[in-house]
Amino acid sequence: MEIDENYGMIEDIWQTLFEIFDDEAKKKNIALHYTINVEHEHILTDVTKVKEIFVNILSNTMKYTPSGGSVMINIDELPCSGPGYMIVRTRVSDTGIGMSQEYLTNIFEAFTRERNTTKSKIAGTGLGMSIVKKYVELLGGTIDVESELGKGSTFTVTLKHKIADENYYVKNYAENPETYSEILKDRKILLAEDNDLNAEIAEAILERAGLKTERVEDGIQCVNKIEKMPAGTYDMILMDIQMPKMNGYKATQAIRRLPDKDKAYIPIVAMTANAFEEDKRDAFAAGMNGHIAKPIQVDKLLSTLAEVWGKEMTDETDCHV
């Protein structure tokens, strides 16, 4: 495993996670709250692994907390002796079924599950906490758990992050008085993404910016959806490249060959695993209008979509002059 360091905002990371689990909490009647108390909001870290750590922890927390319970997340910055770094301590506490002291000694070993959860038929592989511990250690952090049967559990995670220089986040919007949200509000995005976690993150970002989303899981489904639905149903496609059955390049080429030109010319933005120039060239060669790299950065995603949409509208206006 390697660290893929990139820029992120602590508030954005947690807002995304909160939105992913908010619907589940409401369905189970679980009170879900979080507080953030950090001095340095902008960080350089492996944002995807940070999210995966807490997706695993929160998934278990929601799974083992009964209806009427509560989950509290506290994010605090701790003093750090290393210049240019910060330490974030995150505590996730629930009022769930808890764990025995015997099981706590084995919780971070692969394929271990508390016996009372297997008896109660609660689904799970037992792999999650083993992966979480590896990711936490890879990021130079620690993870501890306190629990008591029938009284809930508290996971405490500390992670060390670089503090991002202001060049990463200070932007000049003077040339474009419209915000991304104003440009993109109420646009409908067809999201082609086979990975559930990546899809949930993208949907949360898009919906928070005022866009409407619909998801398909591979290139064939994406092409079929465009063919089946009336032209204008979707304003844009956000297309993952690495998908089963038909990848994003082939799906784009199939859409561009559709006889209905209104469907064939729909704006398509590629999502790839990196930002190499070769990937950008391949995306444009396949007929795509834009390119963003994973893991998704909120500002970059919205600015790219706004730029592609704005160019599309300009091109349409020019065609009608």
Model confidence band, residue 118 (pLDDT cutoffs 50, 70, 90): very low
Determine the average pLDDT of the residues in 46-53.
87
Contact (CB, 8 A) for 153 and 147? yes
| Contact predicate 239/226, CB 8 Å | no
- The pLDDT tens digits of the residues spanning 226-257 come to 999 998 899 999 999 888 889 989 999 999 98
125 and 264 together in one domain = no
More confident residue, 273 or 49: 49
Q: What is the DSSP string of 213-236?
A: EEEESSHHHHHHHHHHSPTTS-SE
Q: Is 171 inside a domain boundary?
A: no
**Residues of the chain with pLDDT > 70: what percent?**
83
Q: What is the pLDDT of residue 179?
A: 57
As a 3-state breakdown, the chain gives helix, strand, coil percent values, each rounded to 5, of 40, 25, 35
What amino acid occupies position 196?
Answer: D
| Mean pLDDT in residue range 25-50 | 90
Residue 142 has phi, psi (to 5 degrees) of: -135, 155
Compute the distance between CA of residue 2 and CA of residue 124 in angstroms, rounded to an integer: 26
**Of 209 and 161, which is predicted with more confidence?**
161
Asked, for residue 47, whether it belongs to a domain, the answer is yes
185 and 150 housed in the same domain: no
CATH code of 270's domain: 3.40.50.2300
Domain that holds residue 215: 178-320
Quick check: pTM over 0.75? no
Percent of the chain with pLDDT strictly greater than 90: 28
pLDDT value, residue 311:
59
172-215 pLDDT, tens digit per residue, is 433 443 556 667 778 899 999 988 888 888 888 888 888 899 99
Whole-number mean pLDDT of the chain?
Answer: 80
Domain harbouring 86, CATH code: 3.30.565.10
Specify whether 160 is located in the same domain as 186. no
pLDDT of res. 292: 84
Inside any domain, residue 301: yes
Tell me: do 23 and 98 sit in the same domain: yes
Number of structural domains found in the chain = 2
Task: Report how far residue 10's alpha carbon sits from residue 19's, in angstroms, rounded to the nearest whole number.
Answer: 14
In-domain check, residue 208: yes
Q: Is the peptide bond before 295 cis (omega within 30 degrees of 0)?
A: yes
Listed residues 165, 186, 219: the one ending a domain? 165
Residue 170 domain-assigned?
Answer: no
SS3 142: strand
What pLDDT score does 314 carry? 46
